[in-house]
A and B are shown apart, each in its own frame.
Chain A
Amino acid sequence: MADNTNAAAEVAAGAPPGMPQLDVSTFENQIFWLLIALVAIYFVLSRVALPRIAGILAERQGTITNDIAAAEDLKARALEAEAAYDNALSDARAEAQRIAGETKAAIQADLDVAIEKADAEIAAKAAESEKAIAGIRAGAQEAIKEVAKDTAKEIVAHLGGKADARSITTAVTSRMKG
């Protein structure tokens, strides 16, 4: 914007008032310089700036595409690794289960053998004991029979009778059985 003092001086000097835009005498000057400016800007843009920016944008697009592809690749690899890990984990789990089962079976077998052996021993001991008890019982019956016979004989003798050994034995035996 032109300063006022200048403008006032120009008006005083006889410059035409009105619109400078309609001053035809300046047109060819403006048009000449405008054409030069347009051509200059056109060449600067079309030769230098626009190809360069297009190149930068294409390069960025390429980089982004590459990066996305790399990221996809890494993601696929991560998924693969996860699958492998899962596989290994389930394998290990199955193995552990197998080992545990085997161990359990072995222990069960040992246990069964031991229990059988113990059962057999217990049965043997029980039979022995029963035998001993039966012997003792038989011994005891015999002794009771003797005692009863003797006692009966003595009692009969004391009562003044003559005890018949065979009838006493028969009586005692029948009593004992009864």
Chain B
Amino acid sequence: MADEAHGGGGLSFHPMDQFQVKPLFGSYGDPIHWYTVTNVTLWLGLSILAVIALMVLTTSKRDVVPGRGQSIAELMYGFVYKMVEDVTGKDGIKYFPYIMTLFMFILCANFLGLIPMSFTTTSHIAVTAILGFGVFFAVTILGFVKNGASFLGLFWVSSAPLPLRPVLAIIEIISYFVRPVSHSIRLAGNMMAGHAVLKVFAGFAQVAAIAPVAIIGVMAIYGLEVLVSAIQAYVFTILTCVYLKDALHPHH
């Protein structure tokens, strides 16, 4: 995938071009201000529309016996609700709308990114870092507000032998601060990697001899990416639940 910059033989690969942020109106060279309407804006907007279509329009009839769309909406609701309840316990239920927001946004953005020629908003570290650090700060502040200084008990493993505890505390603190980094880079990295691999396989299709293999490869990777999109949304959400549980019940 490096060949773009260095010219790899006759093939030209541009695996990273799909992630370029461009102004939606105007030409490429235009400066991007914070308010500029870009392809990021477009696909974030489509994510919002997808969430509305999935969760609001399908349930507008309020059928007691659900139709297809309403079943999907109820399935999502029940899935995330049960996840929050199972992982964080009863007192985590009041944060359910936040977690549902994260889940629906990531799921819709991931799936929209799989549409050919689209732009994957969740493949950008800036986006996922906001999500990940947002969760991190929210959970940390919540932990201190709910538990006060005893929230620090999270790092003091009282079940371990006493001489080990300072060592474990250092490890726990490091892993605590690595959480938001891994949380956000996992999502962005998975999406970026999958889409780049798709692009590389598509680049192989430029050679007629291996084009059929390349196209079959694209199909296979695409199937895998559909799976990864859903699993990453699930993983992001369940890890948020786990962190939330740590904030609400810091004692091991």
- The interface of chain A, by Cβ under 8 A from chain B, is 1-4, 6-11, 13, 15, 17-23, 25-38, 40-42, 44-46, 48-50, 52-57, 59-60, 63
The complex places the Cα of A4 from the Cα of B14 at a distance, in Å, of 7
With a cutoff of 8 Å between Cβ atoms, the chain A residues found around residue B41 in the complex are: 33
The answer to whether A20 touches B34 (Cβ under 8 A) is no
The answer to whether A53 touches B48 (Cβ under 8 A) is no
Asked whether A26 and B21 contact (CB < 8 A) given A1-B118, A53-B59, the answer is yes
Across the A-B interface, the 3 shortest Cβ-Cβ residue pairs: A7-B17, A49-B55, A1-B18
With a cutoff of 8 Å between Cβ atoms, the chain B residues found around residue A20 in the complex are: 16-17, 19-21, 124
With a cutoff of 8 Å between Cβ atoms, the chain A residues found around residue B63 in the complex are: 56
Minimal beta-carbon separation of A37 from chain B (angstroms) = 4
The answer to whether A49 touches B73 (Cβ under 8 A) is yes
| Interchain CB contact (< 8 A) of B44 among A33, A52, A55 | A33
| Interchain CB contact (< 8 A) of B21 among A23, A41, A60 | A23
The answer to whether B199 touches A30 (Cβ under 8 A) is no
11 contacts between A and B (CB under 8 A): A1-B17, A1-B18, A9-B28, A13-B29, A29-B36, A30-B121, A36-B44, A45-B51, A45-B101, A53-B74, A56-B62
Task: Beyond A29-B33, A41-B51, list 6 extra A-B contacts (CB 8 Å).
Answer: A2-B14, A4-B12, A13-B28, A30-B121, A37-B47, A41-B47
The reply to whether the CB of B4 lies closer than 8 angstroms to some CB of chain A is: yes
The reply to whether the CB of B183 lies closer than 8 angstroms to some CB of chain A is: no
The complex places the Cα of A26 from the Cα of B116 at a distance, in Å, of 23
List B15-39 residues whose CB lies under 8 Å from chain A.
Answer: 16-22, 28-29, 31-36, 38
The answer to whether A26 touches B126 (Cβ under 8 A) is yes
The complex places the Cα of A15 from the Cα of B16 at a distance, in Å, of 12
Residue picked from A23, A30, A42, most chain B C-beta under 10 Å = A30
The answer to whether B16 touches A53 (Cβ under 8 A) is no
Q: Is the interface of B mostly helix, strand, loop or mixed?
A: helix
With a cutoff of 8 Å between Cβ atoms, the chain B residues found around residue A15 in the complex are: 20, 28
| Interchain CB contact (< 8 A) of A38 among B62, B66, B101, B117 | B101
| Interchain CB contact (< 8 A) of B121 among A34, A45, A46, A56 | A34
List B183-211 residues whose CB lies under 8 Å from chain A.
Answer: 188, 192, 195, 198-199
Residues of B within 8 A of A (CB-CB), count:
63
Minimal beta-carbon separation of B70 from chain A (angstroms) = 7
| Interchain CB contact (< 8 A) of A10 among B12, B28, B96 | B28
The reply to whether the CB of B5 lies closer than 8 angstroms to some CB of chain A is: yes
Report the nearest B residue to A27, measured CB to CB: B126
With a cutoff of 8 Å between Cβ atoms, the chain B residues found around residue A33 in the complex are: 38, 40-41, 44
Residue picked from B32, B78, B124, most chain A C-beta under 10 Å = B124
With a cutoff of 8 Å between Cβ atoms, the chain B residues found around residue A7 in the complex are: 14, 17, 20
The complex places the Cα of A4 from the Cα of B202 at a distance, in Å, of 11
The answer to whether B56 touches A44 (Cβ under 8 A) is yes
With a cutoff of 8 Å between Cβ atoms, the chain B residues found around residue A44 in the complex are: 48, 51-52, 55-56
The reply to whether the CB of B144 lies closer than 8 angstroms to some CB of chain A is: no
Asked whether A2 and B17 contact (CB < 8 A) given A21-B123, A30-B40, the answer is yes
The answer to whether A29 touches B34 (Cβ under 8 A) is yes
With a cutoff of 8 Å between Cβ atoms, the chain B residues found around residue A2 in the complex are: 14, 17-18, 20, 22, 117
Report the nearest A residue to B21, measured CB to CB: A26
The answer to whether B59 touches A52 (Cβ under 8 A) is yes
Report the nearest A residue to B41, measured CB to CB: A33
The reply to whether the CB of B125 lies closer than 8 angstroms to some CB of chain A is: yes
The answer to whether B12 touches A8 (Cβ under 8 A) is yes
| Interchain CB contact (< 8 A) of A48 among B56, B70, B127, B192 | B56
